[in-house]
Structure 1
Amino acid sequence: MFKANPIQLVQEDSDDLIQLINPEQDSDIKPEDLPEELSILPIKNTVLFPGVVIPITVGRQKSIKLVKKAYQGNRIIGVVAQKNSQAEEPVIDDLYRTGTVARIIKMLVLPDGNTTIIIQGKNRFTVKEFVQEEPYLTARISLQSEPVLNANNKESKALVQSLKDAATKILKLNPEIPQEAQVALDNISSMSFLVHFLSSNLNAEVSDKQKILETQNITDRGTLLLQYMLKDVQMLEIKHEIQKKVHTDIDQQQRDYFLRQQIKVLQDELGYDGPDKEVEKFRRRADTKHWTKQAAEHFNKELDKLLRINPMAAEYPVAMNYVEFMLDLPWAEYTEDDFDLKRARKVLDHDHFGLEKVKNRILEYLAVLKLKQDMKGPILCLYGPPGVGKTSLGRSIAKALQRKYVRMSLGGVHDEAEIRGHRKTYVGAMPGKILQHIKKSQSSNPVFVLDEIDKVKADFRGDPSSALLEVLDPEQNSTFGDNYLEVDYDLSKVLFIATANSLDTIHPALRDRMEIIEITGYTQEEKVEIAVKHLIPKQLKEHGLRASDVKFSKDAINKTINSYTRESGVRNLERKIGTLVRHIAKSVAMEEEYDKVIGEETVRKVLGAEVFDEELYQGNDIAGVVTGLAWTQVGGEILFVESSLSRGKGALTISGQLGDVMKESAVAALSYLKSNAEALQIDYRLFQQYDLHIHVPAGAVPKDGPSAGITMFTSLASIYTQRKVKAKLAMTGEITLRGKVLPVGGIKEKILAAKRSGIKEIVLSAKNRRDIDEIEKHYLKGLTFHYVENVEEVLKIALLKDRITVPMKFVLTDQKATA
């Protein structure tokens, strides 16, 4: 409680010593002795009370000027407490309005340039208004009168005795306070000085002391002080009880310490350098860890085990590696998140063009984390074709959050121990890659990218997907168990971001634990913007060129996209731009003249012959050829269904490496066509006397799925009727034996593929309208959609009344029935 013995501070001035011992003798300053405007000295971390002597070190230039001028004059100043102790130069609003008039007893100039003054409080005062701030604070004040106290009053006597008893208890419970303070306490007879003396030395906040100073009545002041002192007594008593309880444990620790020291001396005498030095170093490191009680007990157990192992034994390095791994893990060590949402939005927009859905989801996460900082990290799965920026988006998220970034590739992982680690009993045991990457990041809340989660494989060594169930479950990963670590580790604050090209190969239970965010391919316009803003500057930097060395025309970028890269993402586009940049870099390095603007001719010259045609659509001059739309793991594609008839016995041939589902769609389409041949004006004898061959080109590529149903039906209707198919039309939808058109998936990727190939009209199931409504309008620009419910509507849209230029001539004969 007591910070200093005020009596010892003024032994060099005997006159002032008399005033301190007898505080009521000339202790007050009369109003007429004060100047009209009083100099104000702000002080930090304490409050000055009337009658009390304290030393103050003055370091501010304003305060030094004030003190020196006052010391040369009447030595009277006003002292007020400062609310914010961290502020170097206090402002007027940061000062309390109630203070104490003080007299400077002594001033000492120290060798370091600071000035120390010893002051004694006199009267309490209230600031009416501050008059000036330069060269130091001055204010108009009004003195607060102290009411005359009847010292013989029973209430006053009881209060004085209570204060002294409380102070005596504090002195006994706190051994840090010198015993001379009890002598000073016994020599105080004045109640007001006792209250002020104890308040000055009270172990309390400045705000609490200021509250005592502002209390008008001395009895109320003493009562408030007593409340604070009794709280201090209670805290000291609790502390004393705790110390008594842990005394036995401390004795045991000391005993263990002395025994270890004796062992160390014996080892030194024998010339044997034991492992105790390493162990002590580990113990010191362990003291800085914020791990759980369970982890601390387990670590100490392993450390004690290490001491018992012979350093020459094979188990010693294994145990040593385990202890070091536990110490290297960032137990409950977190980086501070940046909750500036506008900055995060700028970072995401700068690094990635488009992708509004995933950007908004990250901003939502940041917003909720800002409001509820103990929120568990979400498990996001970015799903889409290659090259659309899924992995790089994870790095941008880490930059936006200002978190550490780690990436783990799961492609080809087929051992469960890669995730959970090996048990320590195995030779060459290692922790799982999850904790290895957490250790590298030195943070328990990094952005953790699990790349290619759809390419995890299972074999006889276990199923890594099942091991990932605990990692990616927000309800379980707070107690993630690694086989090597053997104690639970908290992964709940990690922001896991998985990436996948396909959801079909992900374990259903694992997929259920993740929030799927679909990232679709880019349109032509988006690819141009990405090339201008990201890919070209990146390639120029990587090849040592400046922006002034070369410029790409918009025609050149469009030519590269349309004729040399036919993809959902921009990875191949970046490679082609790199090829063009290297062509310029060679000319710059060889100091050759070159055209600084890359146009279409330069693109054709450097990249060679065009790989893709501007429009893949092949016309409608041949019957039975219909354009369909397909979804693949690398985005959308268009495909052609071709049908042909030849004289035969009604055999059906299906080719093109089609899966079972696609073959069934072809059979269903043919069955419906046969049952409705009369309505389509098809002679039934065609089905008996002509063989049908259905082929889907790109025969080396496996194809499957129900979405080509209506495409196959339209192809069959066209070949049997020899009618033209509408130009620049594509379709997708499943067919039933009743002629219903069912909805299919992957609509956005299919639309992008159609736009790349020059398709203008698309036929869809009516139930796919909801998918179109969710797609941004700029993706749909230039396309017309037809929504159908049955195949009759499909034929009305797709088949023209005109027959092809050279229709096939069918030769049909009547067949007699046989018994």
Structure 2
Amino acid sequence: MKIEDSMELPVILVASGVLLPGATNNYVVIAYKVSPDKVYEVGTIAYVEKLFGWTFNSTVHYSLDVVGLHRANIDKLSLPTCVVSKIVDSPGAKLLAQNNSSSKNISHEILNLIDEHDYATLADLCVSQMKILGFMQLLEFLGTREPEKRIDLCVKWMGKRNENNTLALKLPNSVVPASQKPQSKQRKVPNAKNQVEQLEEKLNGIEFTEEISDRVFSELHRLKNMNSQQSEYNVLLNWLELVAALPWNTSTVDDIEISKARTILAESHEAMDDVKQRVLEHLVVCKMNNSVNGMILCFSGPPGIGKTSIAKAIAQSMGRKFQRVSLGGIRDESDIRGHRRTYVAAMPGRIIEALKHCKTNNPVFLLDEVDKLYSGNQGSPSAALLELLDPEQNSTFHDHYLNMPFDVSKIMFIATANDIERLEPALKDRLEIIEMSGYSLKEKVKICENHLLSRQLSKHCIIEEYTMEAGVRQLERNVGAICRHVALRLAEALNSDPGADVLPDVELPIKINEADIHRILKIKHMKRVKIVEKMRPLPPGVCFGLSVTTNGGKVMPIEASKSKGTGKIVTTGHLGKVLNESILVAKGWLGANAERFGLKAFEENDIHVHLPAGSINKDGPSAGTGLACALVSLATGVPLRSDAAVTGEISLTGHVLPIGGVKEKVLAAQREGLRRVVLPKSNEEEYMKIDGDIRQEMDVVLADTVEEVIGAMMEK
């Protein structure tokens, strides 16, 4: 195309930053808007090389690649106008409006077009939504310029949407396709209008704060003015539904009666007197202050001892709902705080989601397995819990998906953990740790009688030979296996004679003896005093130590041997850094006191210390006394007692320092058939809390120095 002195070209106003493509040729004029109603007199003639188009938020945008050619004086700027008369009197237009007005599934956009009598645009919109039309039919509609003819085609095709291609016009003012006729078994899909109206009613019934109310109803206004086909529509709808479902002002009334709470705890749990007492004290403080703000209880102990069930008992005692959230294995901070709405498939965090299902803003909230949280590339879930558990901050807990403050200060939080040493220091500082130890044999029998069985069963051999745990889960499984065996015998007897009034060939009551238990439960999973039987008699250099794991107490054999060498120490058994240092401390004490006790030094011998089993990680300072006893036994050649175990940390000066897990260790020694346990004198208070029956059965020696420990372990 030749550029002439005077010519007419399409004009693009670029003041708003949006370029519109030329419609007639590849040449345009770039005009510059200097004010809302004035264009600069000089523009640029440009050649359009490329045209790009894309869709964003249901709006089509274009961009141009242009090359400037010449300056141009703009003498006159005329904008094209298109005047379309409103079609009101057309029979087709009236029928089209009536058909859409009577439809239940109708968008706000169609309603606006009907109100404005813009039936030509309404016809275009309706035809664009018809999936049954072929390519040639759409071309025919596109080539029809007269609005009245387009309306007639739209009405014609709307009547053919049923399966038989017949007009389903039953009434003068309604067009009902067969696919939309009500069917008895057809599921009704809620229309967008009714859904938004119901949502608005729910939101109006909630008393929000002024800040939250402005935000919520602003988003609701956006939803009303939004086309339901837009991608953001469902995202905003789901967010508002979550807001409407949360218990902003719904609370349960506390009913705390100490006598009632004491009865519930006594009926639901055996033993645990210290734990019950601490729970009752906590409930009294909550009742007096009329608030649950304060320290967060954290029950710590082996699996299966009743940490979760005692939290349920607390909820029952307070008359509150109970909600449990399992945190084991969580690595992503967003699981606690939620995902931001900008992400695809975003959802709220577990705290807000649990409150939505709980339907009350003051439940008893159990954070289960808080020691199983892990930090990863997605942040630290433990750090996300800090805001939740801080009484100064949790009144404005901020979930990323909700993106508004939510008050969780009325919630009574309770945490559980198997190993509190794995908790982060900042999180541990917000928790009040309540240690829960395992059950003794007598306590397990009571639990079996009062909670696991409705009638008497022979239980003694089940507990000792088929279970080896701190809790009672395996005991419950074994009792369940016996009950299933009895139920099968009854069912087989009934099937043999269904019409009989009494069970034939079955003597009632059914008695289960020891032989029946061995036949039902097959081989014995656990063997009593297994370690003692395998290692008796103990050779010099072998000692029984005691340790505590996440599953309760455990007897830990310590083996030491020597060979000619240069005095170096070799350790095996997957030992940790603290345990290796305990070996060095024990050897250092032994070397410093060798002449005093008449011991031969180890300078000419290499020492090998091994703690089976080798595949299990071991660490901690409480094996110091056991290591010292093993090394003294190795040096003197005198074996230690095979029915005794020892635990305690030692210093280089020979003092025995206190350790933890006293009850678990004593119970572990009892389960293994050991009768003597040597404990640090500093742990006398913890020892006295153990049941009197266990103290009478076990020979417990309290020692203050390494010499006293060695004397108790070598005593005949």
TM-score past 0.5 threshold: yes
Matched, 1:735 2:650: yes
Letter in 2 for 1:409: S
Letter in 2 for 1:598: I
Deviations 1:573-609 (A, max 9, x none): 1111122222222222222647822222222222233
Aligned residue for 2:520? 606
Distance 1:696 1:429 in 2: 50
Distance 1:620 1:277 in 2: 83
Aligned residue for 1:710? 625
Distance 1:668 1:443 in 2: 56
Matched, 1:669 2:586: yes
- The answer (yes or no) to whether the contact 1:331–1:444 under 8 Å persists in 2 is yes
Distance 2:117 2:405 in 1: 39
Distance 1:671 1:566 in 2: 37
- The answer (yes or no) to whether the contact 2:303–2:418 under 8 Å persists in 1 is yes
Choose which of 299, 302, 326 in structure 1 pairs with 2:219: 302
The structure-2 alpha-carbon separation of the partners of 1:683 and 1:353, relative to structure 1 and needing over 3 Å to count, comes to: closer
Aligned residue for 1:558? 460
Aligned residue for 2:245? 328
Aligned residue for 1:281? 198
Distance 1:279 1:333 in 2: 23
Alpha-carbon RMSD across the aligned residues, in angstroms, is: 2.7
Matched, 1:769 2:684: yes
SS at match of 2:571: strand
Distance 1:268 1:491 in 2: 52
Letter in 2 for 1:394: A
SS at match of 1:462: coil
State the Cα distance separating 1:571 from its structure 2 match: 1.0
Matched, 1:683 2:597: no
Choose which of 673, 698, 701 in structure 2 pairs with 1:786: 701
State the Cα distance separating 1:776 from its structure 2 match: 4.9
- The answer (yes or no) to whether the contact 1:264–1:276 under 8 Å persists in 2 is no
SS at match of 1:459: coil
Aligned residue for 1:266? 115
SS at match of 2:697: coil
Distance 1:794 1:480 in 2: 54
The structure-2 alpha-carbon separation of the partners of 1:793 and 1:364, relative to structure 1 and needing over 3 Å to count, comes to: closer
Letter in 2 for 1:526: E
Distance 1:638 1:683 in 2: 29
SS at match of 2:608: strand
Distance 1:748 1:678 in 2: 37
State the Cα distance separating 1:421 from its structure 2 match: 0.9
Deviations 1:364-421 (A, max 9, x none): 3433343333443752211110010111222222222222221111011111111111
Aligned residue for 2:131? none
Distance 2:267 2:113 in 1: 61
Distance 1:459 1:353 in 2: 40
SS at match of 2:594: coil
Choose which of 461, 469, 474 in structure 2 pairs with 1:572: 474
Which structure has the bigger radius of gyration?
1
Matched, 1:457 2:374: yes
Distance 1:442 1:773 in 2: 45
Aligned residue for 2:510? 596
- The answer (yes or no) to whether the contact 2:305–2:436 under 8 Å persists in 1 is yes
Letter in 2 for 1:562: E
The structure-2 alpha-carbon separation of the partners of 1:779 and 1:331, relative to structure 1 and needing over 3 Å to count, comes to: farther
- The answer (yes or no) to whether the contact 2:655–2:706 under 8 Å persists in 1 is yes
Distance 2:385 2:600 in 1: 60
Letter in 2 for 1:753: A
- The answer (yes or no) to whether the contact 1:629–1:750 under 8 Å persists in 2 is yes
Deviations 1:39-68 (A, max 9, x none): xxxxxxxxxxxxxxxxxxxxxxxxxxxxxx
The structure-2 alpha-carbon separation of the partners of 1:769 and 1:711, relative to structure 1 and needing over 3 Å to count, comes to: same
Deviations 1:780-803 (A, max 9, x none): 332233232321222222224x7x
State the Cα distance separating 1:647 from its structure 2 match: 4.8
Choose which of 401, 404, 408 in structure 2 pairs with 1:484: 401
Distance 2:405 2:342 in 1: 18
Aligned residue for 1:721? 636
The structure-2 alpha-carbon separation of the partners of 1:623 and 1:472, relative to structure 1 and needing over 3 Å to count, comes to: same
Matched, 1:747 2:662: yes
Choose which of 375, 378, 388 in structure 1 pairs with 2:305: 388
Aligned residue for 1:83? none
Greater shift, 484-493 or 341-350, is seen at 341-350
State the Cα distance separating 1:717 from its structure 2 match: 1.0
State the Cα distance separating 1:689 from its structure 2 match: 4.5
SS at match of 1:360: helix
Letter in 1 for 2:482: L
Matched, 1:346 2:263: yes
Distance 1:302 1:780 in 2: 67
State the Cα distance separating 1:650 from its structure 2 match: 4.3
Q: In the TM superposition, what are the counterparts of 1:356-505 in structure 2 within 5 Å?
A: 356-376=273-293, 379-505=296-422
Matched, 1:518 2:420: no
Greater shift, 336-345 or 484-493, is seen at 336-345
| Number of residue-to-residue matches in the alignment | 525
Aligned residue for 1:195? none
Distance 1:461 1:476 in 2: 23
- The answer (yes or no) to whether the contact 1:377–1:495 under 8 Å persists in 2 is no
Q: In the TM superposition, what are the counterparts of 1:604-683 in structure 2 within 5 Å?
A: 604-615=518-529, 616-618=531-533, 619-647=536-564, 650-683=567-600
Letter in 2 for 1:599: N
Q: In the TM superposition, what are the counterparts of 1:12-411 in structure 2 within 5 Å?
A: 266=115, 277-376=194-293, 379-411=296-328
Letter in 2 for 1:552: L
State the Cα distance separating 1:727 from its structure 2 match: 4.6
Q: Which runs of 5+ in 1 are unaligned?
A: 1-258, 538-546, 803-819
The structure-2 alpha-carbon separation of the partners of 1:781 and 1:297, relative to structure 1 and needing over 3 Å to count, comes to: farther
Letter in 1 for 2:522: G
SS at match of 1:597: coil
State the Cα distance separating 1:511 from its structure 2 match: 1.2
Deviations 1:256-279 (A, max 9, x none): xxx99x969828997899965444
Choose which of 476, 479, 484 in structure 2 pairs with 1:582: 484
Letter in 2 for 1:566: M
Deviations 1:345-370 (A, max 9, x none): 22222222222333333333433343
- The answer (yes or no) to whether the contact 1:620–1:725 under 8 Å persists in 2 is no
- The answer (yes or no) to whether the contact 1:275–1:307 under 8 Å persists in 2 is no
State the Cα distance separating 1:295 from its structure 2 match: 1.8
Letter in 1 for 2:457: F
Distance 2:703 2:206 in 1: 66
SS at match of 1:678: helix
The structure-2 alpha-carbon separation of the partners of 1:445 and 1:689, relative to structure 1 and needing over 3 Å to count, comes to: same
Distance 2:412 2:402 in 1: 21
Distance 1:400 1:560 in 2: 33
SS at match of 1:629: strand
Deviations 1:186-207 (A, max 9, x none): xxxxxxxxxxxxxxxxxxxxxx
Distance 1:395 1:283 in 2: 36
SS at match of 1:450: strand
Q: Percent identity?
A: 40
Deviations 1:235-289 (A, max 9, x none): xxxxxxxxxxxxxxxxxxxxxxxx99x9698289978999654443333222221
Under a length normalisation based on structure 2, what TM-score does the superposition of the two structures give?
A: 0.69
State the Cα distance separating 1:497 from its structure 2 match: 1.3
The structure-2 alpha-carbon separation of the partners of 1:587 and 1:481, relative to structure 1 and needing over 3 Å to count, comes to: same
SS at match of 1:725: coil
Aligned residue for 1:696? 611
